[in-house]
Chains A and B, each alone.
Chain A
Amino acid sequence: MSWITVRRRPIAGYAVVLLGLIGIGGTYAALTAHGSPASAAAPSANPQQIGQGRTLFVQNCSSCHGLMAQGTATGPSLIGVGGAAVYFQVSTGRMPAKEIEAEMPRKPPVLNDQQTRAIAAYIQALGGGPPIPSAAQVSTAGADPGLGQELFTENCSQCHNFVGAGGALTQGKYAPALTQSTPTQIYTAMQTGPEAMPVFNDTTITPSEKRDIIAYITQTRTEPNPGGFSLGRIGPVTEGLVAWIGGIGALVLAALWITAKRRVH
């Protein structure tokens, strides 16, 4: 205790109380991260990061979303969408968008991770919303891919295909393949429901169940998948096509050879 009592200035007392509260809160959050991550995962935003985020936002996003993120005719308001939405859109390269399309395609991100998190911190500070989950929150260690598969089959596979290979929707929209998505991107997509995707909030699909779904998606990628084009693992279709066309062609040629008239010598 001596290192605290050394400091005699009045402000030190407040600092100790504040640190204690943060410590209790942090411990509580760590112990109950299972239940209410929305409050526990609040990123430690500092004014400097928020300031950098604001600068980046004005440079990259404000032409569509407005200088105060209030939204314009071309882009929706971002007040209250939370850092999770920013992280998903920017880290997958969908934002900043080149042009307005039926669906924003995934592309190499324009901003790096640190810049992405800065903008997320700025949007988070503007109006709250779901924050970026921590690495522990999206870890698949100990997750149950079996339950993840059931949840994925019930709620995700209609659009994303049962192994996450993606699929077409109406009016030029599509459900993207999940083959490159990082766990954090999958988590934030479920939390925020980007574009046409429905929202799966933490009280409906709990963070633990979200980790199960992530475990299913990532584990399915590593399953062996021999043959040609997998077509979303619907089976050996391409191999079958080659076997039928090539095989039947060979059989026809063989039949022609067997019954061909011999040349007269």
Chain B
Amino acid sequence: MSDTGEYGHDVPVPDGVVRDGVVQDGPQEPPRAPHRVIGTPPPAEARTLLGTVQEDTRPPVQRELPAGPADAARAKRAERIIAALFILSALAGIGFIAAYVGLEVGTNLDAVLRSNLALGISMAVAFLALATGAVLWVRTVMPDVELTEERKPLASPEATREEFAETFREGAEASGFVKRPLLRRTLILASLPLVAAPIVLLRDLGPLPGTKLRHTVWRKGLRLTIAATNAPIRPADFDSPGAMITVIPEGYANDDDAIAKAAVIIIKFEPGQLTSPTNLNWTVDNIVAYSKICTHVGCPVALYDQTSHHILCPCHQSTFDAPRGAQVLFGPANRPLPQLPMGTDSQGYLVALSDFKEPVGPGFWERG
């Protein structure tokens, strides 16, 4: 059995022997880092996490239980109560079946509610009475004696582990896994692409967003329409200072993905109220258009206070100064609401002059 050295647990390897293409150098006294082929088990003497087997030398535990409960009269009373609870549980269980079979559900909402109530109450009573009876049984009828039983060692006996290792060794030798390196290495080679496959599959989970987050559907000449009614707006219609309305791009009323980024609020001001850094070339008759998507985390920001001219975000109280380019006055947003370049078309309706000049919504690109 000179070959047992292959499994590295008892034969010291002579100095300078070339085995499996590896030069074993240095004295091996005692053998450190035993040479072991991939896929074979560690020697049985190796440490395990399960501890070692020790003989249990303690005397066997006394298991003498009392013949009956300490208080016989009390147990007798409790027995009746427990039996009553079990009968109640049985009746409730029958009631559950009766409710399930008997109560029509159909499409009537009230009937569904009645049925659910009856089913729920009967099932709750059935389980609760059963459990209460069981606990009472334990607490009143059963003897109350504490027994201690030590936990046995988890590791298998030494002989069993030796036998397993031996069986494995024999199997490995018979299979030629060790003696035929060509087979072993090609088998390992075959598994490598399968390990790599999930990486390729994961990489292919949907296309990258590309520049989608930087653009909205607004483009030159696209009309602003009132959300929900989809009516285009003339500046003369939107002529009350202090007015505000949510608008969406014309034709995108049913495209939630587009509106999620392209929603806009327009606000009408008194002449002279709008000042820098609002881009006045992008306003029409003191009407200004800002993105409705908060630059903090993208909540719809439309709490417009027409006395202070603040636009407030309901999520985290970011406050924007509407007449001055929607600059941030307060809160976690760190960038003004983007202003939509706005003009009028040949029929006098409000239109976009282009897309937003900067991305709307949270500032993901500033962190990247």
Which residues of A pack against B, CB within 8 Å? 147, 150-151, 153-155, 158-159, 167, 169-171, 173, 193, 195-201, 203-206, 209, 257-258, 262, 265
Tell which of A155, A199, A204, A258 touches B302, judged by Cβ atoms closer than 8 Å.
Answer: A155
Instruction: Point out which of A171, A201, A209 has the most chain B C-beta atoms below 10 A from its C-beta.
Output: A201
In Å, the complex CA distance between A265 and B301 comes to 70
Q: How far is the CA of A174 from the CA of B152 in the complex (A)?
A: 69
A154-B228, A155-B246 known; A169+B303 contact, CB < 8 A? yes
A201 touches B239 (CB 8 A): yes
CA distance A221 to B244 in the complex (A): 26
CA distance A169 to B317 in the complex (A): 9
Please, how many angstroms separate the alpha-carbon atoms of A153 and B292 in the complex? 14
Known A-B contacts A169-B305, A199-B242; the reply to A147 vs B300 at CB < 8 A is no
Nearest-CB residue, chain A, relative to B314: A158
Interface contact A155-B244, CB-CB below 8 Å: yes
Known: A169-B312, A170-B310. 6 other contacts (CB 8 A): A155-B246, A170-B312, A198-B243, A198-B306, A199-B240, A204-B226
Assembly CA distance A205 to B229 (angstroms): 9
Q: Are A154 and B74 in contact (CB under 8 A)?
A: no
B53-90 toward A: CB 8 Å interface, digit per residue (1/0)?
00000000000000000110010000000000000000
A159 surroundings in chain B (CB, below 8 A) = 303, 314
Q: A265–B71 contact, CB under 8 A?
A: yes
Is B308 located at the chain interface by the 8 A CB criterion? yes
How many residues in B have their beta carbons less than 8 Å from beta carbons of A? 39
Given A196-B307, A199-B306, also A150-B243 (CB < 8 A): no
Whether B245 and A258, one on each chain, are in contact in the complex, defined by CB atoms closer than 8 angstroms, is: no
How far apart sit A153 and B248, CA to CA, in the bound complex (Å)?
14
- CA–CA, A173 and B312, complex, Å: 12
Complex Cα spacing A205 to B244, Å: 11
The answer to whether B238 and A203 touch across the interface, beta carbons within 8 angstroms, is: yes
8 Å CB contact of A262 from B144, B237, B243, B300:
B144
B240 and A258 contact, CB distance less than 8 A: no
Flag if B243 contacts A200 (CB, 8 Å).
yes
Q: How far is the CB of A162 from chain B (nearest CB, A)?
A: 11
A147 vs B236: C-alpha distance when bound (angstroms)? 24
B187 within 8 A of A: no
Asked, given contacts A170-B305, A204-B243, whether A151 binds B312 with beta carbons under 8 Å apart, the answer is: no
Whether the pair B239, A203 counts as a contact (CB closer than 8 A) is yes
Q: Does B233 contact A (CB under 8 A)?
A: yes
B139 interface residue per 8 A CB criterion:
yes
Residues of chain B with a CB closer than 8 A to A258's CB: 135, 138-139
What is the minimal beta-carbon distance from A77 to any residue of chain B, in angstroms?
14
CB-defined contacts of A150 to chain B, threshold 8 Å: 227-228
Q: What is the bound-complex CA distance between A200 and B229, given in angstroms? A: 14
Q: A193-B242, A200-B243, A203-B239 are in contact. Are A154 and B306 (CB under 8 A)?
A: no
Q: Given contacts A193-B240, A196-B305, is CB(A154)–CB(B246) below 8 Å? A: yes
Bound form: Cα–Cα A201–B243 in Å = 7
Number of cross-chain contacts by CB at 8 Å: 91
Residue in chain A with minimal CB distance to B241: A199
Q: Does B319 sit within 8 A of A, measured CB to CB?
A: yes
Smallest CB-CB separation from B248: which chain A residue?
A154
> Are A173 and B238 neighbours in the complex by a CB distance under 8 Å?
no
Min C-beta distance of B354 to chain A, whole Å: 24
- Chain A residues lying within 8 Å of B303, measured Cβ to Cβ, are 158-159, 169
A253 to chain B, nearest CB (A): 13
- Does B304 sit at the interface, judged by CB under 8 A? yes
From residue B258, how far is it (CB to closest CB) to chain A in Å? Answer: 15
Write 13 A-B pairs (CB below 8 A) sorted by A numbering.
A151-B227, A155-B227, A158-B303, A169-B303, A169-B305, A193-B242, A196-B305, A196-B307, A198-B242, A203-B239, A209-B229, A262-B139, A265-B74
User: What is the bound-complex CA distance between A153 and B229, given in angstroms?
Assistant: 12
- When chains A and B are docked, how far (Å) is the Cα of A149 from the Cα of B300? 17
In the assembled complex, the Cα of A257 lies from the Cα of B319 at a distance in Å of 54
Q: Decide: B144 and A203 in contact? CB cutoff 8 A.
A: no
Is B144 within 8 A of A147, CB to CB? Answer: no
Per the bound structure, the CA–CA distance linking A167 and B300 in Å amounts to 16
Contact A155 B245 (CB under 8 A): yes
Q: With A and B bound together, what is the CA distance between A170 and B229 in angstroms?
A: 30
Given known A193-B240, A205-B245, contact A257–B302 (CB-CB < 8 A):
no
Determine how close the nearest CB of chain B comes to the CB of A128; give it in whole angstroms: 13
- In Å, the complex CA distance between A173 and B245 comes to 21
User: How long is the Cα–Cα vector from A20 to B241 in the complex, in angstroms?
Assistant: 37
Measured in the bound complex, the distance between the Cα atoms of B238 and A155 in whole Å is 15
Q: Are A147 and B240 in contact (CB under 8 A)?
A: no
Q: Cβ of A196: which chain B residues have Cβ within 8 Å of it?
A: 305-308
Which 10 pairs show the lowest CB-CB distances between chains A and B?
A: A150-B228, A203-B237, A198-B244, A196-B305, A199-B240, A199-B243, A154-B246, A201-B240, A154-B227, A199-B242
| Chain A nearest Cβ from B135, distance in angstroms | 5
List residues of chain A with CB within 8 A of the CB of B237: 201, 203-204
Central interface residue in A147, A159, A203, by most chain B CB within 10 Å: A203
Q: How far is the CA of A199 from the CA of B300 in the complex (A)?
A: 19
Q: Which of B144, B241, B245, B268 has the most CB of A within 10 A?
A: B245
Q: How far is the CA of A244 from the CA of B32 in the complex (A)?
A: 60
Nearest-neighbor residue (CB-CB) of B266 within chain A:
A204
Find chain A residues with CB under 8 A from B306 CB. 193, 196-199
Assembled-state Cα–Cα distance A162/B144 (Å)? 60
Question: Considering the chains assembled together, what is the distance between the CA atoms of A170 and B329 in angstroms?
Answer: 12
